Amino acid sequence: MNFKDQIDVNRLPQHIAIIMDGNGRWAKNQGKFRVFGHESGVLSVKDIVEGCVEIGVKYLTVYAFSTENWNRPIEEVNALMELLISTINQEVETLNKNNIKLNAIGDLKSLPQKCIDDLAAAMDKTKTNNSCTLTLALSYSAKWEIVEAVKQIAQQVKEQNLTIDQINEELFASHLTTAKIPDPELMIRTSGEHRISNYLLWQMAYTELYFTETLWPDFRREDLFEAIVDYQKRERRFGKISEQLN
């Protein structure tokens, strides 16, 4: 029996977050430049998005470019930005065909203007789609996101539009870039690394973590289905004991 057939569609994670790791190592193993790994990784993104639509996962968030990635060699950063632009422009038709809404989170204003414009255009063209929301975390840092939320709330308090006693978890979450997205139930990281790397720190307070040795360019929908099967075998207690869940 394949992994897809083992999935209980009534217990799907509504939101899956992915750290797409291992593109550079994959390229090195092939004797290629790192950008070749990133280009090959785009094929994995397409297959995983389509896999989510196939089984009914409503939200998929992928860590496409972190704020720390700006520290990489300028040649690789430029290649990544060019790849981002070309991929966005090429995939709008496919997104619409599969009824997928494109979204983005992060310090988007730090991206090249061409990226900003093409991203905004693609999001506008897919805004009415509702089978799945694909969120790209671009120039994203969870610490940056939390600090920005604190600044927004502090400004409201300063302007006397908010009192200290009104600040709670729900209000704080409403100031995050993911305010309209449910917290992820499952986070997948490829390439054998066991870190969450400044990714959705607030949102992943109770997320199930799944790590695989598979490098991202080799990760396909059957690997996604395997991760979901593993997720469905876990008992999610949220601080309770097993007997309270029955």
CA dihedral 109, 179, 143, 188 (to 10 degrees): -100
Residue 6 has pLDDT above 60, yes or no: yes
* Token pair 């720390």: residue: 68
Q: Residue 213: pLDDT above 70?
A: yes
Catalytic, 69? Answer yes
Instruction: Tell me the pLDDT tens digit for each residue of 73-110.
Output: 999 999 899 999 999 999 999 999 999 999 999 999 99
For the ranges 7-16, 81-90, 188-197, the lowest mean pLDDT is seen at 81-90
34 confidence band (pLDDT: 50, 70, 90): confident
pLDDT at residue 92 in the model = 95
99 given a catalytic annotation = no
- pLDDT value of residue 14: 97
Q: What is the pLDDT of residue 100?
A: 97
For position 26, what pLDDT does the model report?
Answer: 94
pLDDT given at position 244: 54
pLDDT at position 210: 98
Catalytic residue among 2, 8, 10, 21: 21
The residue to which tokens 């601080």 are assigned: 239
Q: Please answer whether residues 27 and 71 qualify as being in contact, where contact means their C-beta atoms are separated by less than 8 angstroms.
A: no
**pLDDT at site 243:** 55
Q: Which of 47, 69, 107, 230 is catalytic?
A: 69
Name the phi and psi angles at 104, rounded to 5.
-145, 145
pLDDT tens sequence across 121-168: 999 999 999 999 999 999 999 999 999 999 999 999 999 999 999 999
